[in-house]
Amino acid sequence: MSTVSMQVTVSRTTIQIVAVPDTGMANIFIVDNNDGSHQLQVVPIRQYLRAGTAVELAASHVLELAMAAIERHMHQQTH
């Protein structure tokens, strides 16, 4: 299987997911205009892949979760 990379921009923050099927892991990177780039977390996706989920779908799911977490964090900072 091939490595899959996806990204989305939320406000001024870019979230990038790199899913590596051979390791069964997805890396979450955050790129912020103020802080530069850093790796936020490594998430296991092996269980999804073993269940037959396509790596693209697993990466998309991780991206959605990361987006929701960033949006919650931004919302909390404004209140």
pLDDT tens for 11-65 read 788 999 999 999 999 999 988 777 777 777 899 999 999 999 999 999 999 999 9
Helix spans in the chain (H): 46-50, 55-78
Q: CA nearest 17: which of 5, 31, 33? A: 5
The CA distance from 52 to 12, in Å, is: 35
pLDDT value for 10: 85
pLDDT value for 74: 80
Q: Is the pLDDT at 78 greater than 80, yes or no?
A: no
pLDDT value for 70: 86
pTM: 0.84
Locate tokens 């001024």: which residue? 12
Locate tokens 């069964």: which residue? 24
